[in-house]
Structure 1
Amino acid sequence: MEAKETGGDPGLFGQNSVTWQAHGDPMMWVAGIRALYLQALHPRAVRGVMQNSDFRRDAWGRLMRTASFVGTTTYGTTEAAERAGARVRKIHRVLGATDPDTGERYGVDEPALLLWVHCAEIDSYLHVLRRSGFPLTDAHADRYLAEHRHSARLVGLDAARVPANRAELAAYFARVRPELAAGDEAHEVDDFLLRPPTHPLLVPARELLWRRVARLAYDSLPPYAHQLYGRPAPAPATVTRRLRVTGTLLRAIPARLRWQLPPKHILRATARLGPAARPAPYRLARPAAIPDRPGEGRVD
């Protein structure tokens, strides 16, 4: 079944894209935490974050800004998505970091760093969704990766150089693997994600809920990430079972309730395009042909 558009601007991806359906899933929050764990393993990339922001004081704000960017680029109008990308590029252009060992000063908008952040994020979204039971076939997965050459372009990357299918993404991670390490900054991110500062009255909730989610996100990392962090994960089958149980529980919450939470991009999209634009797994259509010129116009 394909959703019919009602004349509003469907944005960069369009309501028949894999991205439109997948990004409405609640397991995206677990995937986002996994992405932070993975991104922190690139010393130059995580250094750029730690030297330019007060991660511990504003971690929730950072997570919400990331969620808002993903929501805007997925469900917002084309103009809103382009504005969001322009803001990110403008911020990145003026930020830099210093290598404490060599004294080298470098920009956080180096293409290699932007590509790592992009690939770690998109891989995490795709991995957690599929492993938790969201019905994405291999063809859907390839289509999803091809679609996200658009989001890569928005942050300043050459879309043609971004992995556009599972094979290309696997080859990229194999190439970058020797550059990864769990330095002091990575362990600081790890420590924060397990024990984020919170009001004393909320500590029990943090221990009961947040740490379970953070551990699940960590456990879903690839084996080399566990080796670098120096903390083992349960057996893969156990992790997969926990992901599926968590996915089942979260997806049982009515969408109309989940979508009331900030940043509410899905509600605005359905108001703009009509109720048929509501994202849902059953709306996944057969993946269409991939555009010849990535990064230009919609993908559906």
Structure 2
Amino acid sequence: MTTTTTTASQRVTGALSGAVTSARRRVGLVVRSRVAGEDAAERRQQIWHSDGERWNSPDDAICRVNGDASMFSAGLTALLLQSLHPLAMAGVADHSDYRGDPWGRLQRTSAFIATTTFGTIADATDLIRTINHVHRSVVGVDHRGRPYDARDPHLLRWVHIAEIWSFLECHRLYGRQQQTPDLRDEYVRQSARTGRLLGARDVPESADELNAALAEYLPELESSPAAVDARHFILDEPPVGWTDKPAYRMLRHGAVAALPPWARDMLELPDGPFGSRDVGIALGVAGVATLRWVLDAVDD
């Protein structure tokens, strides 16, 4: 009797485990297709497994940070922080279809980061060349009538600085591995190559230089009408279904908690739920851990 009961229990446990594994994999595939596109498997093969010399090795800091699930919150943090430069944000608002095709924009950004981090040098340089060509037509004026040009090295430097600062900070808060000062310096140094190839000048080469560069831009930053509109879209009107909203809400809180205090003030954002940044970080940890769990099932 005991043997029969044990066997039945094992069958039920096995069935439940199999169902959970199957559901976990299905969710992971959906998340990956959202971020990388319907051809995610083909893109992955091209980026990670095609023959050719690469700038980075798997153990490099840039691969460890950019390959971590903390990037899901980091991308939101970077967009919010970048939006605070009125000229850079005007270029996005005037020339980007982020409202009409948000997933397409996310997939293009994801492809760029993956290709320049993990792809072959040939593929990375081709993609950078294409982006530099597109930037030629990104010109206009902001809400105050000030001219902008996406090829401006000063604006490109801001976009680069805000991006890698956000990626590093979210990795520190939500990354799988503990971050060290050496990793931070190595990450900034390795990321500098892409910034320079995109046209930025005087890019930081260490974590201290990165923090100093971010502070240099403070007098130029403001919450422009375009930044406020982007904030509402990213945080309050995300293009996700009701089943995805709980997970997105956790990532959202994590992204806001990672921002510098002055950036939250400019965007009129609370430190976190109930006014607590610690709660925001805890939700960010939970959201990133959940996504890491489902995506690991796809990689298994």
Same fold (TM over 0.5): yes
Percent identity among equivalent residues? 31
Q: Which amino acid aligns with 2:231?
A: D
Counterpart in 1 of 2:216?
175
Counterpart in 2 of 1:298?
none
Q: Which amino acid aligns with 1:178?
A: P
**CA deviations over 1:258-285 (Å, ceiling 9, x no partner):** 59xxxxxxxxxxxxxxxxxxxxxxxxxx
Choose which of 170, 181, 185 in structure 2 pairs with 1:128. 170
Is this contact kept in 2: 1:33–1:214, CA < 8 A? yes
Residues 225, 174 of structure 1: CA spacing in aligned structure 2 closer, same or farther, 3 A cutoff?
A: same
- Structure 1 unaligned segments of length 5 or more: list them: 1-5, 260-300
Counterpart in 1 of 2:104?
61
Is this contact kept in 2: 1:43–1:180, CA < 8 A? yes
Counterpart in 1 of 2:260?
222
Counterpart in 2 of 1:75?
118
Alignment of structure 1 residues 108-123 onto 2, 5 Å = 108-123=150-165
Counterpart in 1 of 2:189?
146
Choose which of 39, 43, 63 in structure 2 pairs with 1:20. 63
- In the TM superposition, residue 67 of structure 1 has moved relative to its aligned partner by 0.4
**CA deviations over 1:91-114 (Å, ceiling 9, x no partner):** 112210213323x43311111111
Residues 245, 99 of structure 1: CA spacing in aligned structure 2 closer, same or farther, 3 A cutoff?
A: closer
Counterpart Cα distance in 1 of 2:61 and 2:53: 14
| TM-score (ref. length: structure 2) | 0.76
Is this contact kept in 2: 1:31–1:125, CA < 8 A? yes
Is this contact kept in 2: 1:12–1:150, CA < 8 A? no
**CA deviations over 1:208-235 (Å, ceiling 9, x no partner):** 3323322321222110011101121123
**CA deviations over 1:66-101 (Å, ceiling 9, x no partner):** 100000111110100100110111111221021332
Counterpart in 2 of 1:271?
none
**How many residue pairs get matched?**
248
| TM-score (ref. length: structure 1) | 0.76
Counterpart in 1 of 2:86?
43
Choose which of 147, 158, 174 in structure 2 pairs with 1:105. 147
Residues 71, 7 of structure 1: CA spacing in aligned structure 2 closer, same or farther, 3 A cutoff?
A: closer
Q: Please identify the structure whose Cα radius of gyration is greater.
A: 2
- In the TM superposition, residue 10 of structure 1 has moved relative to its aligned partner by 4.3
Q: Which amino acid aligns with 1:171?
A: A
Residues 197, 34 of structure 1: CA spacing in aligned structure 2 closer, same or farther, 3 A cutoff?
A: closer
Counterpart Cα distance in 2 of 1:46 and 1:32: 15
Counterpart in 1 of 2:281?
240
Counterpart Cα distance in 1 of 2:289 and 2:144: 46
- In the TM superposition, residue 206 of structure 1 has moved relative to its aligned partner by 4.8
Q: Is 2:200 the partner of 1:162?
A: no
Q: CA RMSD in A?
A: 2.2
Counterpart in 1 of 2:242?
204
Is this contact kept in 2: 1:11–1:73, CA < 8 A? no
Range with greater deviation from structure 2 (20-29 or 108-117): 20-29
- In the TM superposition, residue 170 of structure 1 has moved relative to its aligned partner by 1.2
Counterpart Cα distance in 2 of 1:44 and 1:165: 26
Is this contact kept in 2: 1:195–1:211, CA < 8 A? no
Q: Which amino acid aligns with 1:91?
A: V
- In the TM superposition, residue 55 of structure 1 has moved relative to its aligned partner by 2.2
Q: Is 2:54 the partner of 1:11?
A: yes
- In the TM superposition, residue 11 of structure 1 has moved relative to its aligned partner by 1.2
Q: Which has the higher contact order (CA 8 A, sep 6+)?
A: 1
Higher helix share: 2
Counterpart Cα distance in 2 of 1:29 and 1:254: 12
Residues 121, 209 of structure 1: CA spacing in aligned structure 2 closer, same or farther, 3 A cutoff?
A: same
Counterpart Cα distance in 2 of 1:207 and 1:252: 17
